[in-house]
């Protein structure tokens, strides 16, 4: 990546602009030349991809399950319970994580010691960082994110279910052949929009979870910008990082929308 930065700086039009009022290009050259650029890019991308793989489909599955619950009282009770974590601050969630998983006072480690096992440094091992972050995100937002899918399911034409039932379709068959195809356009739109945030991660969560022992897997663009750009007062540089993130997100949205339309589905434009 250092070679790319050097080439970027030496490219004559860019070099000419960097010598004039277009000094902002120097910030991009600095970003691409940072020794930790690949590490930060990797961590941000890994967290985003894990979110797409695990956190994106979870509310879809939960919405499909909730839609099959026949008892309205039970359904509304469950919905209320799973919505509540969304309104809990990340400070509280990370504090609860420390209460359960910290080495010294963590309840889980106390249980392990009581059972004759050694303590596990959950908060200080890189191998545990991503699973913990995913579980936190799953618990906090999966219930809230089901709202839009439940709304999409509620808009499915009831006559489709009646026709499927006449054809002898069972409960699972109706879900797979009627409900799922009916909400595919909603899923596609949200997926495309989600790709636009591929380099956006939850700053507050990662900032609170970060410590020197897991810095190699927890440093992302948002925490890097906060340290270098905000705390360091380098606002122009932090703006350049934000523009880079936005450019990547825009490119992915355009590419995904084009690919989806080629497959015969309706995109976001």
Position 223 scores a pLDDT of 94
Position 236 scores a pLDDT of 86
- CATH number reported for the structural domain that contains residue 200 in this entry: 1.10.3720.10
Tell me the residue range of the domain where 243 lies: 43-84+142-262
Let me know whether 61 and 186 are in one domain: yes
pLDDT tens digits for 51-88? Answer: 999 999 999 999 999 999 988 899 999 999 999 999 99
Considering its fold, how many domains does the chain have in total? 2
Let me know whether 195 and 251 are in one domain: yes
Residue from 171, 195, 179, 170 nearest 253 by CA: 195
pTM of the model: 0.84
Let me know whether 52 and 17 are in one domain: no
Let me know whether 197 and 70 are in one domain: yes
Residue 179 lies in a domain: yes
CA angle 237/196/31 to nearest 5° reads 20
Let me know whether 185 and 204 are in one domain: yes
> Alpha carbon 37 to chain centroid distance?
20
Instruction: Give pLDDT < 50 ranges for the chain.
Output: 1-21
């Amino acid at each position: 990546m250092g070679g790319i930065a050097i080439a970027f700086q030496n490219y004559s039009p860019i070099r000419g602009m960097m010598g004039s009022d277009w000094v902002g290009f120097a910030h991009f050259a600095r970003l691409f030349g940072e020794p930790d650029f690949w590490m930060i890019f990797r961590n941000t991308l890994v967290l985003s991809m894990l979110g797409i793989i695990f956190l994106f489909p979870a509310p879809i599955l939960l919405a499909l399950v909730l839609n099959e619950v026949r008892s309205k009282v039970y359904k509304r009770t469950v919905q209320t319970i799973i919505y509540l974590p969304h309104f809990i601050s990340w400070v509280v969630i990370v504090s609860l994580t420390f209460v359960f998983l910290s080495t010294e006072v963590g309840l889980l480690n106390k249980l392990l010691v009581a059972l004759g096992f050694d303590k596990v440094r959950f908060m200080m091992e890189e191998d545990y960082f991503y699973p913990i972050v995913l579980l936190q995100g799953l618990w906090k937002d999966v219930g809230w994110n089901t709202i839009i899918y439940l709304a999409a399911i509620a808009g499915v034409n009831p006559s489709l279910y009646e026709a499927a039932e006449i054809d002898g379709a069972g409960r699972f068959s109706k879900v797979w052949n009627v409900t799922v195809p009916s909400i595919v356009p909603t899923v596609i739109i949200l997926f495309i929009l989600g790709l636009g945030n591929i380099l956006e991660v939850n700053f507050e969560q990662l900032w609170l979870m970060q410590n020197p022992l897991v810095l190699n897997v927890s440093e992302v663009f948002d925490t890097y910008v906060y340290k270098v750009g905000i705390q360091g007062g380098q606002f122009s540089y932090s703006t350049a990082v934000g523009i880079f993130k936005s450019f990547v997100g825009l490119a992915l949205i355009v590419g995904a929308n084009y690919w989806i339309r080629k497959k015969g589905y309706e995109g976001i434009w």
